[in-house]
Amino acid sequence: MRVVSEKSVEAAVLGGKTKVAIVGASGYAGEELVRLLLAHPHVDLVTATSRQFAGKTLAEIFPRFAHVEKANALRFSEADPKELARNAEIIFLALPHGLAAEFAKPLLSASARVIDLSADFRLRDAQIYKEFYGHDHPAPDLLGQAVYGLPEIYRDQIRDAKLVACPGCYPTSILIPLRPLIRRKAIERKTILVTSLSGVTGAGRKVETAYLFSECNESVRPYGVPKHRHLSEIEQELSILAGEKIMIQFTPHLVPVNRGIATTIYAGIAGGVVAVEPAVLFSGAYGQEPFVRLLGDERLPDTKNVVGTNFIDIAWRIDKRTGRLIVMSAIDNIVKGASGQAIQCFNLMRGFPETAGLL
Amino acid sequence: MRVVSEKSVEAAVLGGKTKVAIVGASGYAGEELVRLLLAHPHVDLVTATSRQFAGKTLAEIFPRFAHVEKANALRFSEADPKELARNAEIIFLALPHGLAAEFAKPLLSASARVIDLSADFRLRDAQIYKEFYGHDHPAPDLLGQAVYGLPEIYRDQIRDAKLVACPGCYPTSILIPLRPLIRRKAIERKTILVTSLSGVTGAGRKVETAYLFSECNESVRPYGVPKHRHLSEIEQELSILAGEKIMIQFTPHLVPVNRGIATTIYAGIAGGVVAVEPAVLFSGAYGQEPFVRLLGDERLPDTKNVVGTNFIDIAWRIDKRTGRLIVMSAIDNIVKGASGQAIQCFNLMRGFPETAGLL
Amino acid sequence: MRVVSEKSVEAAVLGGKTKVAIVGASGYAGEELVRLLLAHPHVDLVTATSRQFAGKTLAEIFPRFAHVEKANALRFSEADPKELARNAEIIFLALPHGLAAEFAKPLLSASARVIDLSADFRLRDAQIYKEFYGHDHPAPDLLGQAVYGLPEIYRDQIRDAKLVACPGCYPTSILIPLRPLIRRKAIERKTILVTSLSGVTGAGRKVETAYLFSECNESVRPYGVPKHRHLSEIEQELSILAGEKIMIQFTPHLVPVNRGIATTIYAGIAGGVVAVEPAVLFSGAYGQEPFVRLLGDERLPDTKNVVGTNFIDIAWRIDKRTGRLIVMSAIDNIVKGASGQAIQCFNLMRGFPETAGLL
Amino acid sequence: MRVVSEKSVEAAVLGGKTKVAIVGASGYAGEELVRLLLAHPHVDLVTATSRQFAGKTLAEIFPRFAHVEKANALRFSEADPKELARNAEIIFLALPHGLAAEFAKPLLSASARVIDLSADFRLRDAQIYKEFYGHDHPAPDLLGQAVYGLPEIYRDQIRDAKLVACPGCYPTSILIPLRPLIRRKAIERKTILVTSLSGVTGAGRKVETAYLFSECNESVRPYGVPKHRHLSEIEQELSILAGEKIMIQFTPHLVPVNRGIATTIYAGIAGGVVAVEPAVLFSGAYGQEPFVRLLGDERLPDTKNVVGTNFIDIAWRIDKRTGRLIVMSAIDNIVKGASGQAIQCFNLMRGFPETAGLL
């Protein structure tokens, strides 16, 4: 086999690359970061850490990258914050919550910019973190400088952020559809109810009985009822958008697919009357967004159309019988719900085209 | 291979068998009726019709029954109402809606008892049938004598019914959990919202692109938004229970499993205060029901625990944050949601133990 | 819910029950033993052990049995050989190899009869055990009294056995089809080549990354090439049948289904000429076997027809172009390939109808 | 959403694009051609035909392309050979066999170059076509000019071909591994035996009961035994490589994944002695091939590593016990097994880098 150095032509045209590192590169989000960053035209992946696989090349652990020169050259290393900060300009953290914050501290002190995929910096209030995650926040002093990494809401702040907290997969699928409805007061804010269906990679590469093939295959089940952790960030962001405290109902379900989240959102139409057509609201909000695809009121989203991509597909229906607006979305939980969104943030932070490496 | 005549010992003990026929035995519900009726200790399956497979034995078309004597002896026939009524005491109709009513008419005239698995006799109002099914009801005069075949609600009426209209799969998963809550006024009736996830057999053995393996596998999608046909019977039955018109929100989703429905129901707690504990309500209503399993407020239902069985598993949570009660259920859409329930009705109609052939 | 005492009528008719125990009841084979033994008309399951779940009821750990009285009454216990032997007449061991032999020793000493589902007693030669399993045999002195628990070959010996060694899942799917061909010298013995495809429960409830849902779903892969452990017992049994040393080629593949093995066997036709039609050979050998279904030379096996059952489906083709006979089989790896077969042996050992609890 | 014109920067750098058309763009291979050609830097997709969808845009039928400008602009048309030849330089035919040849004739007459994905031009002998496909060859006079589109064997001839016959999916997974072994006489040519496992897209978007989700899911089955159509081209090509008539054994199996073929090949080692190490043979043959990845004798292929790519992964084992060489491969049946390979041929025909649009 001929090992290839990808995208070299394009890169030559476009100039200098940014050195990046991935900490915790062996989980599903980490592996997807590897996939996307190896092919990113403006990236030089200099470090990928994994305690479990230290010493092995990326290609050995992820055979799907066996043809990529860099995947054969680069070996997983143990994570050493000092060395990471010395070698990379931007560092992606794909670690469990709690651990991520501990890594972020020395990296930020050493002037690296950090894109964190865990839940550690998504909440502004350390108390709410403790309520939902069950332990004290490991670095409450950093919460103030973190930017919630949802470009459709915080694009400008992300550009200059030192610390980006990428949203959870469910929140991404919920906040993007709800934002224009909240902002334009199109819905009764107290009536929001959300059901989501997620593929099994959503649980991470966790080696637990519950996620074995034969436990998930031919199985459909709700979980995290009634207070899933992601509620904390969803309600925080909706409350900020609304300018008042918002509480919602949210139930996730596990379904036997590898990837994909299908979310269905219900809310009473404000005042019982459709003041502005949803099509107008959504087009106004997202007509220029590169990763939002509006399906309108005749088609329905299907996770299979977004798997492997950074898109969110959004459709809606007005239910005149019940006076509710129903908005449905589909994303790939590992791409738009995690690693793709992280790279979208990265592109903003570095001034690259927002879609670089993502189309 | 030794072809076996099943359950002969038990049958000998228990005495005479009822002659039954299945019309439309080649779909998923029909095949499941075949499976259950071949093994039923008090049943003699005398006829199974299928236009497509007329002349073939059951064993030829369904190789899983190859060891059963009767499946090798019995050939699919064309459906002839007169002959059916002559040969069988009770006739199961597993036909598309519209067609079922046409068959039911002559059968009932000939004094056969009919258990219909289609939607044709579920609605009391022919106008609502037309609204939801898009054509005039083919036998509106029969609607008055049909009994809705949900034993947990209509047990007594089913016993003497000439014509039983088995509920749809979604309605079964929704009505059983909601009944005690409606009856005991535990929830705000205007706030009921239901999300269901269904396996692909729910669509029947329909040969359409949308149900091909590669279209459904690795795909999750809502459908029938916002006005799925089953709404008509759900709202009819809830309104009867409530003694007032009830309207609900209902969204089904298609997920890649063969069988199973997971339903999640939300409703505001009446008056915002839990007057009677759900555990008390559910135990009171279903403590003696043979096919209702109450999981309580610590466990959650999973379709894999009910697949292949006639059980409905029910769990609940009080969400103090939102003031809602969340009730979740799981059934096998082809068994408790169709053919198993039909046989449960059959047992009632014939005075057999209600669980005969179903445990 | 009404908790039911299953099969009580039938049991009353048929009389006394045999007390049995399951050691290691929490794996897939153990859970399937629970399922089948709870419903077995002549069995009283008195003990089920599981270190992990000791103290919990069967119904708590396996919610699918929540309606069964015994599953609510019986709690998993720690395995204590003395107590086991005191309480149960026949003990099923569903333990990892190595461990099983250690348990078998004291049980046999205490005069219990043992049905072992592990590999520990399948091989007659402790050296070959060491070659294939990588450690010394833990109880070589017991090998002489073990009977290989394949009723289609060793029915008579099983009846009186103290120690039955149930075959592996692959061997079951291979030996039954090959037996009449070897015995009748219909094939060139040096040319046997076998490919098998197995569902993921075949790996047991092993909590390893390789068996996570997202690692197995949408994945097809060979493994154990070229010397899978099951080769040892397959070749042992074929050699015994042939009266000479036989070596075969065997490659298993992992495919994303829960259950089922599809096996395809190739062998040169002896002398290049079909002396006796395969249909005659197979009917002669298996025409009276309760769990062998012969599909002939026009149909093909499909695992979905045997899943959940104790059947083996067998089809064949003569390939005139290549001079080979192709024989294909399908079984449920957990039933005929493990727990169902164990109960078939149990029925023989106790003089019950061989199909009791299995149809 | 912002509709994007993909790869515009790169295209501007690299210059002129080739106008291409796809005939039969609505099947799985056609849709994959659409996906790959829309993103190909040197391609201008001018026409996509589909009788069924004529008048609709590509984006309407394939929502996954909704963000691509061209997919919104281009509408499916009816196939008109004259217009096709006028508008496009190279035409991809993704039609059923029989029909493809009828289209190829007028296109070739009009001096278009044709890349056919059907079986119509793969065989050199119209008699063998008739034997395997059951009808007379529709254009036997064209067989002489067709080049078998397997770049790893016919790279030079493909460059100048007017008519390329892309290999079947199974043949691709078999011929690439076998070629160096046949050429270097490393194996006994009379002993070749192949088992393949294919995902369900291999059957095309055929709307038949056998390919419904619930018929394929939780099902594993052999089919096409013993004389699958692909045998004809496999044996033709092996015979050409060997310089003598070669006959092999081949059995395909259907497994429940969307995409992917796992092939396992067995052959006796020539003379019983490994003259040249397989690693040397395979490296010599494929060390410079851009789409062949050699896994060696310690790793094993897994379809999940090649899905969505144009790679073939190859691993091998020497089985000293049996004197056989075992070679295993994995491809994506729709990419390297169909549309990706077609584009690889296209790149050769137009002098583009062979990997253009495929990495």
Task: Reply yes or no on whether the pLDDT at C12 is more than 50.
Answer: no
Q: Cβ separation of D359 and A4 shorter than 8 Å?
A: yes
Q: What pLDDT shows up at residue C3?
A: 64
- How far is residue D276's CA from residue D272's CA, in Å, rounded to a whole number? 12
Confidence grade of residue A13 (pLDDT, cut at 50, 70, 90)? very low
User: Would you name the residues of D annotated as active-site residues?
Assistant: 169
Instruction: Give me the mean pLDDT over the A182-197 stretch.
Output: 97
Distance from CA of D199 to the nearest CA of C (A): 9
Q: What pLDDT shows up at residue C341?
A: 98
Distance from CA of A38 to the nearest CA of D (A): 12
Chain A partners within 8 Å of B326 (Cβ):
225-226, 249, 251
Task: Reply yes or no on whether the pLDDT at B1 is more than 70.
Answer: no
CA B99 to chain centroid: 18
CA A195 to chain centroid: 18
- C169 carries an active-site annotation: yes
Q: What pLDDT shows up at residue C9?
A: 40
Q: What pLDDT shows up at residue D63?
A: 96
Distance from CA of A279 to the nearest CA of D (A): 12
- How far is residue A138's CA from residue A125's CA, in Å, rounded to a whole number? 12
Chain C partners within 8 Å of B293 (Cβ):
1, 66-67
Q: Cβ separation of A212 and C215 shorter than 8 Å?
A: no
Q: Is A294 in CB contact (< 8 Å) with chain C? A: no
Q: What is the pLDDT of residues B162-177, one digit of tens each?
A: 999 999 999 999 999 9
Q: Cβ separation of C63 and B295 shorter than 8 Å?
A: yes
Q: Is A268 in CB contact (< 8 Å) with chain D? A: no
Chain D partners within 8 Å of C193 (Cβ):
193, 266
Which residue in chain D is spatially nearest to B258 when comparing CA positions?
D214
User: Would you name the residues of A annotated as active-site residues?
Assistant: 169
Q: Cβ separation of C303 and D220 shorter than 8 Å?
A: yes
Instruction: Give me the mean pLDDT over the A209-232 stretch.
Output: 98
Six-digit token string for C233? 């017992």
The torsion region of residue B235 among left (phi > 0), alpha (psi -120 to 50) and beta comes to: alpha
Give the H or E element holding residue C13: helix C8-14
- How far is residue C344's CA from residue C355's CA, in Å, rounded to a whole number? 7
Task: Reply yes or no on whether the pLDDT at A5 is more than 90.
Answer: no
Between chain C and chain D, how many beta carbons pairs sit less than 8 Å apart?
143
Q: Is A299 in CB contact (< 8 Å) with chain B? A: no
Q: What is the pLDDT of residues D85-113, one digit of tens each?
A: 999 999 999 999 999 999 999 999 999 99
Q: What is the pLDDT of residues A199-215, one digit of tens each?
A: 999 999 999 999 999 99
- Phi and psi at residue B293, in whole multiples of 5°? -115, 125
Q: What is the pLDDT of residues A294-322, one digit of tens each?
A: 999 999 999 999 999 999 999 999 999 99
Bridge partners of residue D226, in order along the sequence = none
Distance from CA of A136 to the nearest CA of B (A): 22
For residues B328, B329, B330, B333, the Cα torsion angle rounded to the nearest 10 degrees is -120
Instruction: Give me the mean pLDDT over the A79-87 stretch.
Output: 95
Task: Reply yes or no on whether the pLDDT at A10 is more than 70.
Answer: no
Q: Is A302 in CB contact (< 8 Å) with chain D? A: yes
As a residue count, chain D comes to 359
Task: Reply yes or no on whether the pLDDT at B320 is more than 70.
Answer: yes
Task: Reply yes or no on whether the pLDDT at B5 is more than 60.
Answer: no
Chain B partners within 8 Å of A246 (Cβ):
none
Q: What is the pLDDT of residues A143-175, one digit of tens each?
A: 999 999 999 999 999 999 999 999 999 999 999
DSSP letters along C141-183, please?
Answer: GGGGGEEE--HHHHHHHHHH-SEEEPPPHHHHHHHHHHHHHHH
Q: What is the pLDDT of residues B199-255, one digit of tens each?
A: 999 999 999 999 999 999 999 999 999 999 999 999 999 999 999 999 999 999 999
- How far is residue B27's CA from residue B31's CA, in Å, rounded to a whole number? 6
Distance from CA of C23 to the nearest CA of D (A): 29
| Residues sharing a CB contact under 8 Å with residue D16, sequence separation 6 or more, in sequence order | D42
Q: What pLDDT shows up at residue C85?
A: 95
Query: Amino acid identity, residue B1?
Result: M
Round the average pLDDT of chain A to a whole number and report it.
Answer: 95
Q: Cβ separation of C257 and D260 shorter than 8 Å?
A: no
Nearest to B258 among D199, D211, D218 (CB): D218
Strands D324-331 and D312-319: antiparallel
Task: Reply yes or no on whether the pLDDT at B3 is more than 90.
Answer: no
Task: Reply yes or no on whether the pLDDT at C6 is more than 60.
Answer: no
Q: Is C321 in CB contact (< 8 Å) with chain D? A: yes
Q: Is D26 in CB contact (< 8 Å) with chain B? A: no
Confidence grade of residue D248 (pLDDT, cut at 50, 70, 90)? very high
Q: What is the pLDDT of residues C207-259, one digit of tens each?
A: 999 999 999 999 999 999 999 999 999 999 999 999 999 999 999 999 999 99
Q: Cβ separation of B214 and D199 shorter than 8 Å?
A: yes
Confidence grade of residue B6 (pLDDT, cut at 50, 70, 90)? very low
Tell me the residues of chain B between 174 and 193 that have a Cβ less than 8 Å away from chain A. Answer: 193
Q: What pLDDT shows up at residue A271?
A: 95
Q: pTM of this prediction? A: 0.96
Distance from CA of D276 to the nearest CA of A (A): 19
CA C318 to chain centroid: 28
Q: Is B207 in CB contact (< 8 Å) with chain D? A: yes
Nearest to C305 among B14, B64, B218 (CB): B64
DSSP letters along C79-128, please?
Answer: --HHHHHHH-SEEEE---TTHHHHHHHHHHHTT-EEEE-SSTTT-S-HHH
Q: Which chains touch C (3 or more CB pairs under 8 A)?
A: A, B, D
3-state DSSP: chain B helix, strand, coil percent, rounded to 5? Answer: 40, 20, 40
The DSSP call for residue C137 is -
Instruction: Give me the mean pLDDT over the D233-239 stretch.
Output: 98
Q: What is the pLDDT of residues D24-33, one digit of tens each?
A: 999 999 999 9
Q: What is the pLDDT of residues C78-134, one digit of tens each?
A: 999 999 999 999 999 999 999 999 999 999 999 999 999 999 999 999 999 999 999
Q: Which of B166, B169, B216, B345 is an active site residue?
A: B169
Query: Amino acid identity, residue C307?
Result: V
Nearest to A287 among D1, D218, D302 (CB): D1
Strands B249-254 and D146-148: unpaired
Q: Cβ separation of A215 and C215 shorter than 8 Å?
A: no
Q: What pLDDT shows up at residue A11?
A: 43
| Helix axis angle, B278-286 to B169-183, nearest 10° | 110
Q: What is the pLDDT of residues C291-349, one digit of tens each?
A: 999 999 999 999 999 999 999 999 999 999 999 999 999 999 999 999 999 999 999 99
Q: What is the pLDDT of residues D148-203, one digit of tens each?
A: 999 999 999 999 999 999 999 999 999 999 999 999 999 999 999 999 999 999 99
Confidence grade of residue C16 (pLDDT, cut at 50, 70, 90)? confident
Task: Reply yes or no on whether the pLDDT at B192 is more than 50.
Answer: yes
Task: Reply yes or no on whether the pLDDT at D336 is more than 80.
Answer: yes
The torsion region of residue D260 among left (phi > 0), alpha (psi -120 to 50) and beta comes to: left
Q: What pLDDT shows up at residue C13?
A: 45
Chain B partners within 8 Å of C289 (Cβ):
1-2
Q: What pLDDT shows up at residue A16?
A: 86
